[in-house]
Chains A and B, each alone.
Chain A
Amino acid sequence: MTAMVTLPSPRDLYDRWESQQWSVARVEVGRDASRWETLRPVTRRELLVALAELEIGEVCVTQTLSSLVDHSPTEEDRIYLCTQLADEGRHVQFFKQYLLGPVGVDPAELEQPDSELSLLSAYGQIFEPVLRDATRRVRESGGDPAVWHAGVVQYHLVTEGVIAAPSLKRLREFVRAVGGLAALEEGLSNVARDETRHLTYGQTAARRGVQNGFAEVIGQTYLGALEQAVEVLVNPGRKAVTPVIRAALAHHAGQLDEQWSVARNRMLRQLALIGLDALRDEAERAWERAFTRAFAVYEQRWDAPHPVPKAAGLGLLTPRAHV
């Protein structure tokens, strides 16, 4: 057996938090306003949906973390998790100020659960109920350690690790390619740095849980969450841009596949990092099944194939994110 990579302790992560502070006010979101006025429709729409998705996810994680804080296994964990709670609040503020400011979104669009943006949010529609349920059970169980570890899996490993981190990475690349959005680039880079600490904490806590007798609950919760995580990535509820011009279809599908491939690699790497590499084959199978299902749901909903299987069917793409 190979030696496991050393992961930082919650105390190390607390120290990093102290040295990696930033402020939303200093990002000065208003400087991007003029660029938003010149964005073309597809770019504007893609950015808006991605930002609204992150905002909705951040609100959800801010509202649900407290039960994990309250029932932390050690004081060191609790102090680290308090820093994360502060980070998530800051992320909500950043995305909210950005959407209401330079993007010019109506406040009602962000706040009402039945607004168009809320309904477009795959995370809000599909995974948010899972996370809310998992964290509510932590509270209801009075902090049963097995239930607490299941909550960390849904929160840190799946929501932050498999779903949010690859989306954030793709969004940062897209924003760089669009150009002229300096405040957004800076804000997203700050958020990504915070999220790296969060994911790392999840891996540290889950690995310790695996070593302390919670391997079964951690592994089964992780595998069980993959179907919905993939559904969020594919988002069958939103009609995807599907160019009929093949060169554009190939390019666009390739970018989606790239993002999903990042998610897949991360999903497998996390499993190895927490000491559950034995579940790798099972996780890969669950991942493939989830894509097949999400593409079928998409096709039924829109009466047309999703651009990724469409491009693959035309021989324009060899998918890496699923087989």
Chain B
Amino acid sequence: MGTTDITARIHGIISRMSPTGAAVGSPADRLVEDLGYDSVTFLELAVALEEEFDLTALDDDQATDLTTVAQVEALVIGTAEPSAPPA
């Protein structure tokens, strides 16, 4: 599966789970300031991404700061299983 497809799925999940219903406009969008995420929805998003992309074991050097959509993309694309099921 191409990176573009994964990116589109990530954007879809982030947009769908945004508490304000805001859609991802660009990778530079910030989860909290632009998309309305808070501590509760951030945890929901993390769990949804883990399930969707089968993120069961992430690298030890993964980022600990997930502020923007681009950082989420980098985390998922860098670690998603190649066999992740299509949406």
Interface residues, chain A, CB within 8 Å of chain B?
40-43, 174, 177-179, 241, 243-248, 250-252, 255, 316
Contact = CB atoms under 8 A, between A and B. Distances in A.
A241 B64 contact: no
Contact of A247 (B17, B44, B47, B65): B65
7 contacts: A43-B40, A177-B40, A241-B43, A245-B62, A246-B63, A247-B63, A247-B65
B56 interface: yes
A243 B64 contact: no
| Interface pairs A-B: 3 shortest CB-CB | A248-B46, A247-B66, A245-B46
Given A250-B64, A251-B39, A245 B75 contact: yes
Contact of A246 (B17, B41, B57, B64): B64
B6 interface: no
A12 to B, nearest CB: 38
A246 B63 CA distance: 7
A316 B64 contact: yes
Interface magnitude class on chain B:
20 to 34
Given A178-B40, A244-B56, 15 more contacts: A40-B44, A42-B44, A177-B39, A177-B40, A179-B19, A243-B43, A243-B46, A244-B50, A245-B66, A246-B62, A247-B46, A247-B64, A248-B43, A255-B39, A316-B64
Contacts of A178: 40
Contact of B42 (A174, A241, A246, A251): A251
B23 interface: no
A40 B17 CA distance: 9
A308 B75 CA distance: 22
Nearest to A175: B40
Contact of B47 (A179, A241, A255): A241
Contacts of A42: 43-44, 47
Contact of B43 (A244, A246, A251, A316): A251
A316 B19 CA distance: 26
